[in-house]
Structure 1
């Protein structure tokens, strides 16, 4: 390990003009520590403020760190946990299902960072905007992607506003730096699945003829409230979910597949 050497008020560091103390960082093993002190590295940061229920703000920070091992996993040396997870209304970043206040990434346009929102009451407004950008390149765009309706809001000069009912929304929203994943070579759409209610069996059926990998299935009512969130991680040709506990009405089925792509389909549940 390299050692940092300091000389304070030594004969070598002493000024002939005054007796003020000086600190000189010496070079060692080819590392110029004086240069590091004089020219510290600035880490680009995006500070996002979420105004919750017109009452208080929660801050989330995205740091551009080139040494980040993996954008899609939690790393305790690079990321900051949300230790106030007991709040009944909150906003936070997510990685490996851990709530974060700081997420470090190695920036690329196709990076996606899950954004969690939760509330303990109906009709809770959330307003999300950029509070500050520190050393972030001017060509970087920042969007809030609502995967339920596939809308993108550029929040650099705008505010993303939504009203949510009671619930935890960990799979609906994400922060992106482009409006689509330009790396997709094969387009996958909801038309690759057949989604319907089997009224006789009182179950929702998702037919998967291409045997694509399904990570999660979420179910929302027409107000956007999450009714079901089920991790399945399967590529079976059919997935079945009971609808016996559901009231009659229109629902939105969200299917999360590889690369966090989400596909939506409206279905009518009979409520038998």
Structure 2
């Protein structure tokens, strides 16, 4: 710096230029725009265990993902809890999953383990950018129940252990499909007041391996190994 006369030169904050804040503001603005432009369908599924442990899972539909493992989209369930729920990809446990599409053909395998007997609840914590007419079901294969999570939570009694092939998230009612097949096979069940028991009519001689009954909270109350094609007149 050069000056024509002598004397002190003083600077104050009003003469300073601050560029750092402008750069941060620009970055924050860009991040906000990127978030607003993310219109991918997302589903956050909640699990509340008998021991009051909560786990939340995330699945996102992205055209660059697949139903298998995708680096950058899927995150493994590293901090496994004593009671836990997870997506199953190639028999591995994940808390975040990306898939290519979510529609009525989509099925997402779901695993659960619990260390204590008791009631556990699966809930729909949050959905983003989902078609309003697309329902979200928790399908219990063992009980053949499709429960619409958009309408209410699903509470099920589970004995302590792991359930790796029982539950899945679907977007069409699977139990209806199974019941249609059952009805086409013409097996009739009814309660006989005179005999105070359940009667099973099997006119097509369909092979029946076993008969299991559950109460409304999912507890097994009856199990009969039959291995027969005969008409079972009465049980119970």
1:138 aligns with 2:136: no
Alignment counterpart, residue 62 of structure 1, candidates 59, 64, 67:
59
Distance in 1 (alpha carbons) for counterparts of 2:169 and 2:107: 6
Residues 125, 161 of structure 1: 8 Å contact kept: yes
**Alignment deviations for residues 82-135 of structure 1 (CA, whole Å, 9 cap, x no partner):** 1123x331111111111111121222211111111111222x211111111122
Distance in 1 (alpha carbons) for counterparts of 2:142 and 2:55: 23
Higher relative contact order (CA 8 A, sep 6+): 2
Alignment counterpart, residue 76 of structure 2, candidates 81, 88, 92:
81
The alpha-carbon distance between structure 1 residues 179 and 195, as it changes in their structure 2 partners (threshold 3 A), is same
TM-score by length of 2: 0.61
Q: Report the counterpart of residue 109 of structure 2 in structure 1.
A: 114
Residues 114, 174 of structure 1: 8 Å contact kept: yes
Structure 1 residue matching 2:97: 3-state secondary structure: strand
Q: Report the counterpart of residue 202 of structure 1 in structure 2.
A: none
Distance in 1 (alpha carbons) for counterparts of 2:167 and 2:35: 41
Residues 157, 219 of structure 2: 8 Å contact kept: no
Q: Report the counterpart of residue 149 of structure 1 in structure 2.
A: 143
Choose between structure 1 and 2: higher strand proportion: 1
Distance in 2 (alpha carbons) for counterparts of 1:142 and 1:166: 26
Q: Trace 1:1-272 onto structure 2 (pairs within 5 A).
A: 21=22, 37=34, 40-69=37-66, 71=67, 73-85=68-80, 87-105=81-99, 106-122=101-117, 124-180=118-174, 194=207, 196=209, 250=224
Quote the offset at 1:250 in angstroms.
Answer: 3.1
Distance in 1 (alpha carbons) for counterparts of 2:167 and 2:174: 14
Count of aligned residue pairs for this structure pair: 179
RMSD of Structure 2 on Structure 1 (CA): 4.1
The alpha-carbon distance between structure 1 residues 108 and 99, as it changes in their structure 2 partners (threshold 3 A), is same
Structure 1 residue matching 2:174: 3-state secondary structure: coil
Quote the offset at 1:188 in angstroms.
Answer: 9.5
The alpha-carbon distance between structure 1 residues 37 and 91, as it changes in their structure 2 partners (threshold 3 A), is closer
Q: Report the counterpart of residue 13 of structure 2 in structure 1.
A: none
Structure 2: give runs of 5+ residues left out of the alignment: 1-16, 186-204, 228-236
Distance in 1 (alpha carbons) for counterparts of 2:226 and 2:170: 23
Distance in 2 (alpha carbons) for counterparts of 1:78 and 1:129: 23
- Between 42-51 and 145-154, the greater mean CA deviation after superposition: 42-51
Distance in 1 (alpha carbons) for counterparts of 2:141 and 2:85: 17
Q: Report the counterpart of residue 9 of structure 2 in structure 1.
A: none
The alpha-carbon distance between structure 1 residues 42 and 119, as it changes in their structure 2 partners (threshold 3 A), is same
Larger Rg: 2
Distance in 2 (alpha carbons) for counterparts of 1:189 and 1:168: 32
